[in-house]
Amino acid sequence: MTLVVELPCKNVYVTNDRDRVEQNAKAEWKVFGERHIYQNHWVNLDLVDVQSPDGTRFEHHVVRMQRVVGIVIPNQDGQILLVLHHRFITATWGWEIPCGIVEETETAIDAASREVEEETGFRPFGLKPLLAYQPCIGIADTPHEIFVASGAVSVGEPTDPTEVERIGWFSFDEVKALISNGHIHDSPTLLGLFAVASQAGVQLI
């Protein structure tokens, strides 16, 4: 199925396989090559030789990071499982959905299940894809996929107790208050919660 997007720039087509079929090229950037500046297991920093739509050619920094999964887990009472993280980069505490990196030997859904168990001691079931996105597409390539579970069962203590301070189950009203008070501020959590709340007919903002 092909979706035709009505924009001022004519002939823009978006397909399910994410390929651009045809596009007016006035706003298209051209790529001539790239070189690696720094690389490790977690992050790659590249300089990409590009030409902007106005004809200017220069090297643009691009950060390429791992594939990430996040998981929204409701219980039978409609509460959502969240974990309290300290993020030293922003020097903040925040309630988040379980998230983590997809390792090379894993599928996204396997990584999602593993991350939940490591961080919370719960094993999710009935995992289904919820949404996929790029959180900072102007400078970074880091695909994010959010799953939603049908529920979860406790299988013991978290296997990685250094990751989170504590866990908790929150109603949509409590989630709304956490967002309003700035206690939820990362993109996987916000987008996952907004999507699940929308499906339930609940507005969080």
- Structural domains of the chain, ranges and CATH numbers in brackets: 2-65 (no CATH), 68-199 (3.90.79.10)
Res 196 pLDDT > 80:
yes
pLDDT in tens, 133-154: 999 999 999 999 999 999 999 9
What does pLDDT average to over the chain? 89
**Residues 60, 35 contacting (CB under 8 angstroms):** no
Please, which residues have CB within 8 angstroms of residue 184's CB and are 6 or more apart in sequence?
82, 94, 95, 96, 175, 178, 190, 193
Structural contact between residues 146 and 70, judged by C-beta atoms closer than 8 angstroms: yes
DSSP per residue, the chain: -EEEP--SSSS-EEETT--B----GGG--EEEEEEEEEE-SSEEEEEEEEE-TTS-EEEEEEEEE--EEEEE-B-TTS-EEEEEEEETTTTEEEEE--EEEPPTT--HHHHHHHHHHHHHSEEEES-EEEEEE-TTTTTEE--EEEEE-SEEEE-SS-S-TTS-SEEEEE-HHHHHHHHHTTS---HHHHHHHHHHHHHTT----
How far out from the chain centre does Cα 27 lie?
27
pLDDT in tens, 64-81: 999 999 999 999 999 999
Could you identify the residue written with the tokens 């999964």? 69
- With a CB cutoff of 8 Å and minimum separation 6, the contacts of 53 are 26, 27, 28, 29
Question: Which residue in 122, 121, 144, 139 sits closest to 191, CA to CA?
Answer: 144
11-55: per-residue pLDDT in tens? 444 455 545 545 556 889 999 999 999 999 899 999 999 999 999
Is the model's pLDDT at 4 over the cut of 60? no
